């Protein structure tokens, strides 16, 4: 099920259109996209890092929020749609995506977020091997 498939009473059409526009923009920014040339090290790389970081953060939040914040069914569908979208990326885009996530993980100071950066590719089915790094146990792990 895609965002536009949600019944009228469950999704704000303007919000859905906005998300679809943003996803289209992000797709055009990912190096290797047929819509955008691969940028050299530039502000495009910084934008890509921020977008990927936000994607990981929002997925992390969906995974850890209560049913009172977001319905479990909706959270699951959003995560499945994200995995489906990422699985459909061309090999060059997927490789660059994985490179950027690793770059973000290496520089991340927050223990929980660093773990999520390393776990995300496995959780989304982009890699077969679960990260060796253990999930942080200390309080304040959440996003």
Would you say residue 15 lies in a domain?
no
Highest mean pLDDT among 23-27, 53-57, 65-69: 53-57
Q: What is the pLDDT of residues 77-119, one digit of tens each?
A: 888 888 998 999 999 999 999 999 999 999 988 888 889 999 9
Would you say residue 35 lies in a domain?
no
Q: What is the pLDDT of residues 8-51, one digit of tens each?
A: 665 556 655 655 666 666 666 665 555 444 444 455 788 888 88
> What's the distance, CA 119 to chain centroid?
11
DSSP 65: S
Read off the pLDDT of each residue in 117-140 and give the average, rounded to a whole number.
Answer: 83
Q: Which domain range does residue 88 map to?
A: 42-143
pLDDT at 26: 64
Read off the pLDDT of each residue in 119-129 and give the average, rounded to a whole number.
Answer: 93
Would you say residue 36 lies in a domain?
no
Would you say residue 23 lies in a domain?
no
Q: Is the pLDDT of residue 1 over 50?
A: no
- Taking the alpha carbons of 64, 70, 74, 79 in that order, is the dihedral positive or negative? negative
The string of DSSP codes covering 67-82 is TTTS-HHHHHHHHHHH
Would you say residue 11 lies in a domain?
no
User: CA-CA distance, 119 to 116, in Å (whole number)?
Assistant: 5
Quick check: 27 and 33 in contact, CB under 8 A? yes
Number of domains in the chain: 1
Q: Is the pLDDT of residue 129 over 60?
A: yes
pLDDT at 122: 94
pLDDT at 46: 80
CA angle 93, 94, 96 (to 5 degrees): 65
With a threshold of 0.85, does the pTM exceed it? no
Would you say residue 122 lies in a domain?
yes
- Taking the alpha carbons of 9, 14, 20, 22 in that order, is the dihedral positive or negative? negative
Q: Is the pLDDT of residue 120 over 60?
A: yes
To which H or E segment does residue 141 belong?
none
Would you say residue 55 lies in a domain?
yes
pLDDT at 30: 60
Would you say residue 17 lies in a domain?
no
């Amino acid at each position: 099920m895609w965002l536009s498939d949600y019944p009228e009473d469950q999704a704000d059409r303007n919000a859905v259109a906005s998300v679809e526009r943003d996803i289209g923009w992000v797709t055009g920014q990912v190096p290797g996209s047929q819509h955008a040339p691969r940028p050299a090290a530039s502000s495009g790389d910084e934008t890509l890092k921020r977008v990927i970081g936000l994607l990981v953060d929002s997925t992390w939040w969906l995974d850890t929020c209560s049913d009172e914040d977001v319905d479990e069914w909706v959270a699951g569908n959003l995560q499945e749609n994200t995995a489906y979208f990422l699985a459909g990326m061309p090999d060059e885009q997927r490789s660059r995506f994985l490179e950027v996530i690793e770059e973000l993980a290496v520089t991340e100071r927050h223990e929980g977020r660093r773990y999520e950066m390393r776990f995300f590719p496995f959780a989304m089915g982009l890699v077969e091997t679960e990260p060796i790094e253990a999930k942080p146990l200390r309080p304040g792990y959440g996003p």
